[in-house]
Amino acid sequence: MSADLIAAASSAAARAHAPYSRFRVGAAIRAASGAVYAGCNIENAAYPQGWCAEPSAISAMVMAGETRIAEICVWADSARPCTPCGGCRQKLAEFAAADTPVISAGPAGERGRWTLGALLPEAFSLDGEA
Ligand SMILES: O=c1ccn([C@H]2C[C@H](O)[C@@H](CO)O2)c(=O)[nH]1
Ligand SMILES: [Zn+2]
């Protein structure tokens, strides 16, 4: 079940540095080992220098020595279920497979579930392989 992943993403969203958009996002990755790595969005007064929650979680995973994503949850308290932005889909594809589950969640729990392949069909890769 994904309850632990959703809880980790929710806790991460509480750490978001989002004074400009006020849109707090948390991402939690379950890596191949089963360990969970989380991150938040971190905005900047020079707006384009801010970054999303997903690369924060990817950074935590890579720094722990892991490079395979088994499952990822993106959490936001938003009108519509929050899905990874286009750039984040490509960042996730570096470490995930087309059938890797991507879960969207909010205060009421899970709101949507896709595969990364459904969100990013025909993802770019240097060798043309998934
Ligand atoms: O997948 C996404 C999409 C947006 N954001 C953040 C970036 C910005 O700080 C805020 C509003 O776009 O939401 C994420 O963290 N992840
Ligand atoms: Zn993004």
- Distance of alpha carbon 39 from alpha carbon 98, whole angstroms: 22
Ligand 1 atom at minimal distance to the Cα of residue 83: 1
Phi, psi at 118, each rounded to 5° = -70, -35
pTM of the model: 0.95
Domains of the chain, residue spans: 3-119
Structure tokens at 79: 């009108």
ipTM over 0.95: yes
- Res. 1 pLDDT band, cuts 50 70 90: low
Residues with CB under 6 A from ligand 1: 18, 21, 23, 25, 41, 43, 50, 52-54, 74, 84-85, 88
Is 58 part of any known ligand binding site? no
Is residue 43 marked as binding? yes
Distance CA 23, CA 25 (A): 6
Q: Is the CATH code 3.40.1190.20 the one for domain 3-119?
A: no
Summarize the confidence of residues 24-30 as an average pLDDT: 98
Percent of the chain residues topping a pLDDT of 70: 97
Convert the pLDDT of each residue in 96-114 to its tens digit: 999 999 999 999 999 999 9
pLDDT digits (tens, 9 = 90+) for 64-96: 999 999 999 999 999 999 999 999 999 999 999
21 Cα nearest atom in ligand 1: 11
User: Is the model more confident about 35 or about 124?
Assistant: 35
